[in-house]
Structure 1
Amino acid sequence: MNRVTIVGAGFAALTAVQKLRAADPGMEITLVAPRPEFTYLPGTIWIPSGLRQPEDLLISLDNFFQRMKVQYHKGSATGLKDNGRTLLTDNGEITNDGLIICSGGQFIKKLPGIEHTITPCEGIPAAVKIRDRLNQLESGTIAVGFSGNPKEPSAMRGGPMFEFLFGIDRKLRLDGKRDNFRLVFFTPAPSPGNRLGPRAVKGLLNEMKKRDIDTHLGNKIKGFTESKIITEGGEFDAHLILFMPGMTGNKWFDNTDLPRSEGGLIRADKFCRVEGMKGVYVAGDSGSFPGPDWMPKQAHMADLQAAAAAANLVAELNGEAPSETFKVELICIVDSQTTGSLVVRTLKHNIVLPQMRAFHWLKRYFEWWYLRQYR
């Protein structure tokens, strides 16, 4: 009986579980995570407005683990030994015949004063903090921005920041307070959202102009204070700062022989196989994969990579050569609480459809459809 260990409990990890179980009903699957629960991060954009409550997005995995015959190991990965055949955790060691790393990444928090900002994609608590701060404020300046990892172009997550920006604008209008606030979008990039494609950049900037949102673009960020954003192009006041920094690899990678990219992620080939390591694969935010620099760090991409990783690991355990690659595909609905814009980018196409109410409801339907498999 083959024994496979999966690190993480996010999109990639749970997709890997399903694909492995479908391929091998008798496989022993162990999943390592601090808690047996799944957070649906895309839905956190709706917490500040009250469209979602924290409990709507936090799913217990007990039933899912039982259905999938998964052994849950409570703990956090701390390192590897035996060339990946033993995973070290803060709750003991786990041996395996195959390993899939889906433990996500960590945000680079080196800018001075970054503790004065809120990083939305850190999860439900961050979104709740944004909600509470918005409810407390009666006027002022709200700044929303992001940056990347200069050594890893794909290690950034800017899309949700546009959704928080437009969502906050909509909430303030519904609350009758929009005239009391100045909204500012900032980023070191001169063309925000460039990874979504040129048409999307134009559409995002037009949407900001239509909503009377100011921009501060193309200036390197130097730091923050409790009420100020400092860039090489000047500084401006802000009473609430939402900022998404670039990503790098998890700290536990440092206690391993995993090959790392210049940006700190795990180097993988087109089969999601970790370079130079037998039976070790990676999917999602933890990995640095071959492909275009606009390859997204998003749930959909993590699912595609996890499916490839699972298929190739099964093939390797059966003595066959890995052959499954993943499609590079960016699909997102940039939501603004009541409407949304659809963006699709592949190696051949870049489609951008304007704000429509139908896309907002499509995003909500997809959430329901996706989460039902884990409830």
Structure 2
Amino acid sequence: MSDTVRDYQVIIVGAGFAGVAAAQRLAKERIRTLLIDRNNYQQFQPLLYQVATAQLAANDVAAPLRSLFRKHPSVRVLTAEVSSIDARDRSVTLPDGTVFRSDVLVISAGAEVNYFGTPGADEFSYPLYSVDDATALASSLVEQLDRADTAAATHGDCEPIDVVVVGGGPTGVETAGAIGETIERVLPHYFHDAVPRRCTVHLVDHGDTVLKPFSEKLQRYTRRSLERLGVVMLMGTGVSEVRADGVTLSDGSTLPAHVVVWAGGLKARSVVASAGLETGRGGRVDVDADLTAPGVPGVYVLGDAANIPDGSGGTLPQLGSVAMQSGKWAGRNIVADLTGGQRRPFGYVDKGFMAMIGRMSAVAEVGPKRIELTGPLAFASWLAVHAALLPQARARIGALASWPRDYLSRSRSQFVVGNRPR
């Protein structure tokens, strides 16, 4: 038997950047809001690769939702999986049959990894979209290093350790760079010389360059920086199969791998398709300029669940800054809906793109005029922006304490013990 709860003015499905930003705006107006997420924390996805490489602890990128809203009793946090969404009824159903209904429904359910039907990718590769993903990858890397170290101690040498990163976008570049720098700068201080000497990182992408949205100048800088860290670049070839012992490339050749990291793309979570809304590229909903679902009153779609128009015939990129700004904007529009005001088209403030490559090495295109930054200046800008975006003061303090240790010294004790399975 299901229970129907009708006393919420707003239901928000998903507590990512967009969902939390919308809930925080509604909290200021004391609007009765139900925020549902399968996790009881908000995760800062742009820094998950740093958890995987032990530059940050998992707690530094995960903010407890109830802590975020403890001073806002109008927002109720519910930790639950949503099994289906009925957009026209503005209701959601949980696996036990419980139904919640509201005046306004916000779908910000986030994304899931898109393996593009690649055989074995789901089973044998590590995605990087959740804290659990990051800690699982970290544990696998440490396990491989321990095995190699044991072999070096008992036999005098060890088998090669190959890591393959699939995808040349920001996640793939940052992950490959972080692992490459760890091999070059950190491992020699913790493991026998034979171990880091036998480690290789490969970056594979079917495109002809890395960081496709960036300028050619920044792409060239990124490629040179990765190669200096020992990353082997395999551009213009895709991965057609992932196996337990490596990958098969689109040209039929094979590449051995002990660890495969999948950074090849995302798509909207499958629950979005259950909502009864028309979906477009990436399984996302093509929303109107005011962030509402076309033809369905009282429904907003945000973040990785939405294709948001950029005002010139295209759509905005799937960035954390877009999600956060759209959440705040949707919150204001929802307040207008509930108080008889007027909704306004979303006005995105373009802050550009950034990607970290390694110590004192990053690229950035800042602002609508795309001012290009490289090296230490881009590196400092990346640190400042990401520290400011972390959801809690505690997380900012943790990051600001960890980063100087990681980038100015060669110490990274979490890589050795902090992310081991328990």
TM-score range, shorter chain: 0.7 to 0.9
What's the offset of the Cα at 1:72? 2.1
The share of aligned pairs that are identical, in percent, is 17
Q: Which amino acid aligns with 1:189?
A: G
Q: Does 1:250 align with 2:239?
A: no
Q: Which runs of 5+ in 2 are unaligned?
A: 1-6, 149-159, 189-194, 397-422
Q: Secondary structure at the match of 2:52?
A: coil
In the alignment, the residues of structure 1 paired with residue 52 and residue 85 of structure 2 have an alpha-carbon distance, to the nearest angstrom, of: 39
In the alignment, which of 361, 365, 374 is matched to residue 344 of structure 1? 365
Bigger radius of gyration among the two: 2
Q: Which amino acid aligns with 2:12?
A: I
Q: Secondary structure at the match of 2:177?
A: helix
Cα-to-partner distance string for 1:324-344 (whole Å, 9 max, x where unaligned): 413163545423453342413
Amino acid at match of 2:128: P
1:119 matched to 2:141: no
Secondary structure in structure 2 of the residue aligned to 1:196: coil
Partner of 2:409: none
Which aligned pairs between 1:220-369 and structure 2 lie closer than 5 A?
Answer: 220-233=238-251, 234-291=253-310, 295-327=316-348, 329=350, 331-336=352-357, 338-344=359-365, 347-355=368-376, 358-359=380-381, 361-362=383-384, 365-366=387-388
* Residues 112, 260 of structure 1: alpha-carbon distance in 2 compared, 3 angstrom cutoff: same
Distance 1:220 1:335, change over 3 A: closer
C-alpha change, 1:238 and 1:373, in structure 2 (3 Å) is: closer
In 2, Cα distance between equivalents of 1:293 and 1:224: 33
Residue equivalent to 1:143: 164
Which of 151, 159, 164 aligns to 2:170? It is 159
Distance, in Å, in 2 between the alignment partners of 1:275 and 1:183 is 45
Which residue, out of 34, 41, 45, partners 1:41? 45
Paired letter, 2:99:
E
Q: Distance in 1 between matches of 2:357 and 2:282?
A: 32
How many angstroms apart in 1 are the aligned matches of 2:393 and 2:214? 29
Aligned counterpart, 2:225: 207
After superposition, the Cα gap between the structure-2 partners of 1:80 and 1:184, relative to the gap in structure 1 and judged at 3 Å, is closer
1:96 is paired with a residue of what secondary structure? Answer: strand
Could you tell me whether the CA contact under 8 Å between 1:17 and 1:68 is conserved in 2?
no
1:169 is displaced (CA, Å) by 1.1
How far apart, in 2, do the equivalents of 1:275 and 1:346 lie? 30
Structure 1: segments with no counterpart, 5+ residues: 148-157
Question: Please, which of 104, 109, 114 is the counterpart of residue 98 of structure 1?
Answer: 104
1:358 maps to a residue whose letter is A
Is 1:183 aligned to residue 201 of structure 2?
Answer: yes
Mark the CA change 1:350 to 1:221 in structure 2 (over 3 Å): closer, same or farther.
Answer: farther
The 1:199–1:294 alpha-carbon spacing in structure 2 relative to 1, beyond 3 Å, is farther
Match for 2:86 among 81, 85, 91? 81
8 A Cα contact 1:63 1:374, kept in partner: no
Kindly state the Cα deviation for residue 367 of structure 1 after the two structures are TM-superposed.
Answer: 5.4
State how far apart, in whole Å, the 2-side matches of 1:334 and 1:253 are. 29
SS of residue matched to 1:68: coil
Residue 5 (structure 1) shift: 0.8
Q: TM-score, normalised by structure 2?
A: 0.78
Distance change >3 Å, CA 204–CA 228, structure 1 → 2: same
Which stretch shows the higher mean deviation, 202-211 or 272-281?
202-211
Q: Which moved more, 1:184-193 or 1:227-236?
A: 227-236
1:44-75: CA deviation from partner (whole Å, max 9, x where unpaired):
22223432222333322223222122112332
| Structure 1 outlier segments of 4+, above 6 Å | none
Matched position secondary structure for 2:71: helix
Aligned with 1:131 (options 133, 138, 143): 138
Residue 31 of structure 1 pairs with residue 35 of structure 2: yes
Does structure 1 retain, via aligned residues, the 8 Å contact 2:87–2:276? no
1:172 is aligned to: 183
Report deviation, 1:361. 4.3
Deviation at 1:106, TM superposition (A): 1.6
- 1:19 and 2:25 matched: yes
Deviates more, 1:86-95 or 1:107-116: 86-95
Give how far 1:293 is off.
5.9
Structure-2 separation of matches of 1:117 and 1:166 = 18
CA displacement, residues 10-63 of structure 1 (integer Å, 9 cap, x when unaligned) = 1111111111223x23x1111112232222222322223432222333322223
Separation in 1 of the partners of 2:81 and 2:293? 20
Distance 1:192 1:209 in 2: 12
User: Bigger CA drift: 103-112 or 341-350?
Assistant: 341-350
Q: Deviations over 1:218-263 (max 9, x none)?
A: 2233111112222223332222211123222222223222121143
The offset of 1:299, in angstroms, is 1.6
Number of residue pairs matched?
Answer: 361
CA distance in 1, matches of 2:361, 2:10: 40
How many angstroms does 1:313 deviate by?
A: 2.1
Separation in 1 of the partners of 2:389 and 2:54?
16
- Give how far 1:98 is off: 0.8
Task: Give per-residue Cα distances to partners, 1:77-134, cap 9 Å, x unaligned.
Answer: 222337142222225111111111111012223210112111122x122222222222
Aligned residue for 2:25, secondary structure, equals: helix
CA RMSD of aligned residues (A): 2.6
